[in-house]
Structure 1
Amino acid sequence: MADGQVCERGWRSREGDAPSLGGMNASVPVAAGGHWLRRLFAFIGPGYMVSVGYMDPGNWATDLAGGAKFGYTLLAVILLSNLMAVVLQALSARLGIVTGRDLAQACRDHYPRPVGIALWLACEAAIIACDLAEVIGTAIALKLLFGLPLIVGAILTGLDALLVLLLLRRGFRALEAFVIALLTLIFVCFAIQIVMAAPPVREVLAGFVPSATIVSDPAALYLAIGILGATVMPHNLYLHSSIVQTRAYPRTPAGRASALRFATIDSTVALTLALFVNAAILIMAATVFHATGHTDVEEIEQAHALLSPLLGAGIASTLFAVALLASGLNSTVTATLAGQIVMEGFLRLRLPPWARRLVTRGIAIVPVVAVTALYGEQGTARLLVLSQVVLSMQLPFAIVPLVQFVSDKRKMGEFVIRPWLKGLSWAIAGLVVVLNLKLLADVVTGG
């Protein structure tokens, strides 16, 4: 089958289409031979960029609230969410590598235009919700570290468009190196804090076993779905299907099969790191706050203020704030790329990255400034958790098309997923839909 023509009979014509991410597509060299570790190294990067979305500031709010209020109970939700993420991100990488399309392009090719527009709007809502969390998280970090008022910090986050532009000018590998460096910093900060907190191992392990409380208690369910929305993020599925194509692997069946193996290893290892960070936030909240009776801790600033006194170490709060700032900066990079991919894929509309970033960041800054001005800084905590629930509500609109495409032999050819994986993928999609319907029912009935 000719290069670029894999499974084309299952798709509409691509005449006039540019490759996903334009000039960055196939821009990272891949060794044709040599030891497999050398080839794996060439593929390391996209998984870590995707993992950023699984430990962004939105996760902090839901994990802190969950740990403070319910102890270690919601660790099971974090584990389940992460396992679902491993499966879904592997499917996303498969779609991009096999078809040469990102998820947005695939949706535009497959669905009627009105459906495509609706999916685009849903994805834009998810990106704005994610950006909202980044604005709040970064602004809080700036306040905690440098004493800047929250409103000033929120406005300053608009300048991060320049950071993304500078990184993109240096090539995709430079972008990945920046992301991995900040991820390492976050990992180290939380590793130190966990050692300081010294949580009871037996209770922590018990928290990874699902409990009936998660479904029976509306408050626990609300936080559980918030954690799900903060962990499995819809725009990450669009992002991953595109950035795996930055590797210059041979666009042949053998080249794609090899790329799939390495891309799956990359994302699975990176998401394991994300699992550690998310679990560490909740474990720390459960150990430091829930166990000492501070079950009402919901805000990041509350956590920051209490950490050092309760742990007896002044550096604890500083490490917390540094990790939060690194998380916010990292999320900026991936949100910018995801926004570009979604807009270009669904609409064929190309904007410079800085322009796209300023638009989405501007949309996110306005509600943060408005809520802070009207309700004070306490209102931003509720806005942060709400943004993660909004993300979760958008998940079906990304998961269902993805599973549909990778399950279609006409579109995927020999790379179509196996029946057991197809069943598992649809089960994940069904679980997400059922949980969201349950949340809606509770909100409507006041349960």
Structure 2
Amino acid sequence: MKLGPGLLVAAAFIGPGTITTASVAGASFGFALLWALVFSVLATILLQSLAARLGVVTGLDLAQALRAHIETPVFRWLAAFLVISAIGIGSAAYEAGNLSGASLGLQGLFPSASAQLWTPLIAIISAALLYSGKYKLIEGALIFLVLLMSLVFLATLVIASPDLSAMFAGFKPSFPEGSLTTVLALIGTTIVPYNLFLHSGVVARASQGEQDKQQAIRSSNWDTGLSIGLGGLITLAIVSTASVAFFGQGNSQLSAANLASQLTPLLGDSAHYFFALGLFAAGLTSAITAPLAGAYAVCGMLGLQGDTNSPRFKQVALVILVFGAVVASLGLDPVAVIIFAQATNALLLPIICIYLLWLMNQNKVMGRFKNSLLINVLAMPLLILIITLSGYKLLTLI
């Protein structure tokens, strides 16, 4: 079994936005919403394993598969517009938050240094990794950061010493008053469309030349389950720590930016530094994976070479990174772009999921590796939920 592509997905969805959502969930509702986190992790494992299997069997990433199998030109261009808007522009918009989150983490670790130094430095480090085009180097850096992030957040949870009986009670589904939006946010911050593009692209590249597809799929499933499960464990640690520290205290302004400093009175300086380091790792991993995902999506839909060594691929990734760095460094407000990206993401996710499920059931595409009846039965309620979630998201943005 080879760990790697799945850990990149974990690196992608554990960012400053996830830390904020998980912190607010714990501070506002204690352990009561842990069931939503478990559900979202299981749903993400299912969807990501489908995207990975597509990459193993066809050698195509999801964007390339969309372009290859949508035969009607109008629908193909519509799909290209949605993907480039949601994944390309969306990645650029969210990149500002990723870089800002990593910078806030470093400010927590080195408060005496100038805050203006960190964002450009993190952007340069991310750009150097992306421009190198060396997949193994990028993968190795991200795996290290994910493991670092796991250690610091889990160590902080141990320091917080939560009530285990209360924590396990949170795995029973419930909807405390006013919790619906937070439940949807927990699910939405874990099930994200650009990870489907990222995962399928990375797996398609990694599995090139492998003759035993069944073994490759089995290895990929283990990688996906363990890696995303680890990401869920990190999120659980954040929810639980925030629950211990803040539940019932009315911390309405809690965010990734101030969580580390607000933990100090309860957990001591060590927890403050742990959380700041974790925030830095979360921001940096997402700052690297967001441009990668955007480049896979844009290059695949435009018929460009989807390879980390390709000049076009590097250019698209660097444009996304530079946009985020400018917004983060100048303190510009990317709200309008983020709202547009969220709207297109909400529209794109159910479309992509429907298409992915259709594709995974086609003999001419997947052959003997097409979906089983059990997988389809498990996927149907998930698809209904995604459509509901996306519709709710669109209504809140209008």
TM-score bracket for the superposition, by shorter chain length: 0.7 to 0.9
Match of 2:271 among 304, 316, 320: 316
Could you tell me how far apart the structure 1 residues matched to 2:109 and 2:297 are? Answer: 34
TM-aligned CA distance change 1:115 to 1:187, over 3 Å: same
After superposition, give the CA deviation of every residue in 1:396-415 in whole Å (9 maximum; x if it has no partner): 24322212211222321111
Alignment of 1:91-170 (within 5 A): 91-111=50-70, 112=73, 113-120=76-83, 121-147=85-111, 153-165=118-130, 168-169=133-134
Report whether the alignment pairs 1:283 with 2:226. Answer: no
Unaligned runs of 5+ in 2: 306-310
After superposition, give the CA deviation of every residue in 1:179-237 in whole Å (9 maximum; x if it has no partner): 22111111111121111111111111111221133xx63xx222222222221121111
For residue 162 of structure 1, give the secondary structure of its aligned residue in structure 2: helix
| Equivalent residue letter for 2:247 | H
TM-aligned CA distance change 1:265 to 1:57, over 3 Å: same
Shift of 1:364: 2.7
Could you tell me how far apart the structure 2 residues matched to 1:144 and 1:386 are? Answer: 31
Q: Which has the larger radius of gyration?
A: 1
Alignment of 1:329-344 (within 5 A): 329-344=284-299
Shift of 1:392: 5.4
| Equivalent residue letter for 1:406 | M
Shift of 1:386: 11
| Equivalent residue letter for 1:212 | F
After superposition, give the CA deviation of every residue in 1:131-190 in whole Å (9 maximum; x if it has no partner): 233123112223222335666544444323433146534xx3332222221111111111
Shift of 1:388: 7.5
After superposition, give the CA deviation of every residue in 1:301-353 in whole Å (9 maximum; x if it has no partner): 32122111122x21111111111111222223322321221122110235455
| Equivalent residue letter for 2:316 | R
Could you tell me how far apart the structure 2 residues matched to 1:62 and 1:177 are? Answer: 27
Shift of 1:274: 0.5
Could you tell me how far apart the structure 1 residues matched to 2:92 and 2:19 are? Answer: 17
Could you tell me how far apart the structure 1 residues matched to 2:139 and 2:172 are? Answer: 35
Report whether the alignment pairs 1:302 with 2:258. Answer: yes
After superposition, give the CA deviation of every residue in 1:10-64 in whole Å (9 maximum; x if it has no partner): xxxxxxxxxxxxxxxxxxxxxxxxxxxxxx2xx3211111111231221001111
Kept in 2: contact 1:102–1:241 (CA 8 A): yes
TM-aligned CA distance change 1:161 to 1:185, over 3 Å: closer
- Determine the structure 2 residue equivalent to 1:5: none
- Determine the structure 2 residue equivalent to 1:401: 355
After superposition, give the CA deviation of every residue in 1:44-97 in whole Å (9 maximum; x if it has no partner): 211111111231221001111111111112212211110001101110111111
Could you tell me how far apart the structure 1 residues matched to 2:251 and 2:345 are? Answer: 25
Report whether the alignment pairs 1:364 with 2:303. Answer: no
Could you tell me how far apart the structure 2 residues matched to 1:196 and 1:76 are? Answer: 23
Shift of 1:358: 3.0
Alignment of 1:414-425 (within 5 A): 414-425=368-379
Alignment of 1:48-447 (within 5 A): 48-111=7-70, 112=73, 113-120=76-83, 121-147=85-111, 153-165=118-130, 168-169=133-134, 172-213=135-176, 217=178, 220-248=179-207, 250=209, 252=211, 255-291=212-248, 293-311=249-267, 313-349=268-304, 351-368=311-328, 372=331, 394-441=348-395
Kept in 2: contact 1:61–1:384 (CA 8 A): no
Q: Percent same amino acid at aligned positions?
A: 28
Could you tell me how far apart the structure 2 residues matched to 1:57 and 1:199 are? Answer: 23
- RMSD (CA atoms): 2.8
Unaligned runs of 5+ in 1: 1-39
- Determine the structure 1 residue equivalent to 2:308: none
Kept in 2: contact 1:74–1:224 (CA 8 A): yes
For residue 195 of structure 2, give the secondary structure of its aligned residue in structure 1: helix
TM-score by length of 1: 0.78
Shift of 1:361: 2.2
Could you tell me how far apart the structure 2 residues matched to 1:152 and 1:68 are? Answer: 31
After superposition, give the CA deviation of every residue in 1:220-270 in whole Å (9 maximum; x if it has no partner): 222222222221121111111121123356555xx1111100110111011
Could you tell me how far apart the structure 1 residues matched to 2:266 and 2:341 are? Answer: 29
After superposition, give the CA deviation of every residue in 1:276-307 in whole Å (9 maximum; x if it has no partner): 1001111111111114x143242223212211
For residue 84 of structure 1, give the secondary structure of its aligned residue in structure 2: helix
Kept in 2: contact 1:164–1:354 (CA 8 A): no
Kept in 2: contact 1:158–1:358 (CA 8 A): no
Kept in 2: contact 1:77–1:227 (CA 8 A): yes
Could you tell me how far apart the structure 2 residues matched to 1:405 and 1:290 are? Answer: 44
For residue 371 of structure 2, give the secondary structure of its aligned residue in structure 1: coil
